[in-house]
Structure formats: C-alpha cells, structure tokens
Amino acid sequence: MEERTRAYLRGRFGDHYRRVDLSLPPDAHEREWGYIPWTEGPSETMVRHKSLLGLGDLESFLARERPRHIYFSAGRYADPSASSMGKKDWRGSDVVFDLDADHLPAVDPDEDTYAEMLATCKDALLRLLDFLETDFGFSELTIVFSGGRGYHVHVRDEGIQHLDREGRREIVDYVRGIGLDLDGLVTTEMRGNVTARRLRTDGGWGKRVHEALLAFVSEIESLPEADGKERLQALDGIGEGRAKTVYGAIDANRDAIENGNLEAGGPGIRKLVDALTHKVIEDQNAPIDEPVTTDTNRLIRLPGSLHGGSGLAVRTLERGEISGFNPLVDAVPETFRGHEITVEVTDPERVELDGDTFTLSEGVSTVPEYLGVFLMSRGRAQKGPE
C-alpha cells in the first residue's frame, strides 16, 4: 500500500471515528485491548497488552490514533496491561464464536462471490444461534458482522465465564456435532426383563435426529409405495431388500417411532436412524472456527469499529435484524457515502457493494468513496490523483 493511500484511509477512518458513537463492551476496564496501526508493507504488527486506561478515552484514542484494526479481549483480568498472560491474572472469559467464510465447507472460495460467501455464512450463523438459544439457553448474546468474511457471537452469560479450554471445546464439539454417534444418542431401558433401545428425544442432537426421523417418515408415508422405497434407498447403507423391511416397519410402527423406540421394526429402523444421524449432523452443524472459541485470551474485533481490510463497519445486529441484514449494504459506513473519489485500480474484478454491481477497469477511475475505500483496503487499488 502506497503512502498516499495509507494516509488517505487513515484520515478518513479518523473522520469516521469522530462521527460515530461507540459503545464499550461490559467490564471494558478489565479487558486487554490491542490494535494494528497503518504501516508500510504487508506485515501487520499488533500493539497489544494495553488497558483501556493506557489508551485513554476510547473515542478520542480512535480519533487520534485512527488504527487500521482494533480489538479487545474475550477475557477479563485483574491487570489487563501486564505483559504476559500469567501476570494478567485471568478472571473469566466470554465464550466467543467465529464463523468465517474461509472455513465453511459449503463455501468454494474460487467460485463463490463475496456476497455468496457471506450469505452462506449467515445461514451458518442462524444454525449456531439455534444451538446457543434453544439448546444452551444462553441469553446474553451479542451478534456481530465482523466487517470481513463472517460473523462473531459473544456469549456473556455468567455460567460460562469460568470454563477452561477443555470445557469450551465441549461447546465447540457440540455445535459442530463432533464425536457424535448414534450410540451416544440412544439410551437403553429395561422393559420387563429385556433391554430396549430408545432415542433420547428430550433434547440435544437426539431430539434433532428424532425430528428429522419424524419428518422423513411423514414424507415416506405421503409417497406412493414404490417412490417411498426408492427414497429410502437413496440413503447410505439402505439397499433394496432393507428398504422393503424399513418401509414395512414404518407402516406398522408409527407410534413407536413417535416415542423414539428403536426396537420396533427390527434393525431396519436403526439403520434408518443411523443414516439420518449423519445427514442431520451434516445439515445442522455450525462450522465455527475452533481455536477462537477455546482460546480464553482471544482478542476480538471491536463492534462499531472499521475493518481495515474492507473499509466496512463491524456491526452489532439485533436478533430480529439478522434475516434482513445485507452486509454489503448495511455495513457500508455512512461516512463514505455521498462522495466520489479517484482511485487507480490494480485488480478490476467485479464488486457488489451497496446494492450496485461495479464493473471496473484497470487504471484511474472516479468511484463512490465507499467503493474506493473497499478497493484500497483490500489492496486492489491505490489512491488516485485529485
């Protein structure tokens, strides 16, 4: 990035920070703060181990320093500015989830556009929130568009503050469905003097699998027999002969299936549930980035700040706002709207931003400022002559 581009972006980031009101995370004084200044060259060095006291009033700090990126810690400490983690004296940490388009199996980075990646990421966010709200019953959630390739969720419920990494990894494995197998979802009960296997339908992944089973069974029942059997055969591990048995078992044992009873209909139903379990995990898991969640000292981007690699705002989202949220429109900072600037484009690949699609060509162009900032932040353009 050329000096002129850097100076321009830094100046405009400063203008942005003078205009906006930022809200601090709770216990901001007990957190570690860090930032990345605008520097020459591709290497980014973070200035960290700062306390809020060391930075001074955050808003004037941002207006004065105009950093490229700013972060605060998930952890709280007695002495957040101490130079090592040991000396900081850890008091607890929020549980933070990071959904990053780069890590999503459903994203093809070579094929998908930025907008498509973010849409896939939002689907994953909704699945994650379902786990956090329905299964975990968390109530202190802050949902944030990261300004880059995804979303962050900060959980601040008291009950999880003191979990160590081991405990946090259990949460990760839960939302990702790691280590889950049918055996784990089945309880064995005594019925008279025989044991009976039953799906755990009262919560967790067992309930999700059971719901999928009931939906699948209803679908089969609504189909003509031949189509129903064909549908069954489309599942892993179910051949023609087995499809026939399972079909018969579904027909004869609907009530038992409703109750999660896995004995009715012999091994056929269990085979069906096994196949559905794999599909449910695949469809419903939330592929979060594990190291972020298990790290009790992680630094996370500050909501309300600007992402120095896109020029987009790191936006906190209300729960009801998510479905209608379009990051490439709603995270465009107001500061950069309504002006035009000249840039020298080096990478003219098409850009979708603020509801428009821009076809660019290499060389000097006049573009809306938000687009210019986006291109320059991503290293796809330099500031052009005025």
Partner 1 sequence: MEPRHARYPFLGSARKAVEAADVDLAAVARERRSAVDRGRERILSGLFEGTVGETHRRPRVELLSYPVARVLVSLVDQPALTHRYARAEAAAAHERFQEDLTATQFRSTDGQQLTLATLLSEFDLRGAIEPRETTSLDDAERFSIAVGTYLELAAGQYGDDWRLVNRSLADGRVPIDREELLELLRAAVEERVLDGLPLNVPDPIADSLTEDVEAVSERLDELDLTRDIDTVVPELFPPCMTALLDQVQKGEHLAHHSRFAITSFLTSIGMTTDDIVELYEINPGFGEEMTRYQTDHIRGETSPTDYSPPACATMQSYGDCVNMDDLCEEISHPLSYYEAKLEDADEEEVIDWRERDGDE
Binding region for partner 1 (CB under 8 A): 134-138, 157-160, 162-167, 170-171, 173-174, 177-180, 183-185, 200, 202-207, 290-291, 294
Query: Closer CB to partner 1, residue 113 or residue 284?
Result: 284
Query: 15, 27, 251, 289: which is the annotated catalytic residue?
Result: 289
Cβ contact 196:261 at 8 Å: yes
Query: Closer CB to partner 1, residue 86 or residue 324?
Result: 86
Question: Of 90, 114, 147, 120, whose CA–CA distance to 330 is shortest?
Answer: 147
Query: 94, 100, 274, 354: which is the annotated catalytic residue?
Result: 100
164 classed as catalytic: no
Query: 94, 98, 274, 354: which is the annotated catalytic residue?
Result: 98
Q: How far apart are the first and last CA of the chain?
A: 18
Query: Closer CB to partner 1, residue 296 or residue 365?
Result: 296
Q: What separation in angstroms does the CA of 35 have from each of 39, 46, 59, 80, 282?
A: 12, 5, 14, 15, 37
289 classed as catalytic: yes
What is the rounded distance in angstroms from the CA atom of residue 337 to the CA atom of residue 330?
Answer: 12
Query: Closer CB to partner 1, residue 171 or residue 381?
Result: 171
What is the rounded distance in angstroms from the CA atom of residue 270 to the CA atom of residue 290?
Answer: 31
Q: Provide φ and ψ at 115, rounded to 5°.
A: -65, -40
* Closest distance to partner 1 from the beta carbon of 134 (Å): 7
* Closest distance to partner 1 from the beta carbon of 101 (Å): 19
Cβ contact 128:121 at 8 Å: no
98 classed as catalytic: yes
* Closest distance to partner 1 from the beta carbon of 317 (Å): 22
* Closest distance to partner 1 from the beta carbon of 136 (Å): 6
Cβ contact 75:93 at 8 Å: yes
Residues annotated as catalytic are 98, 100, 289
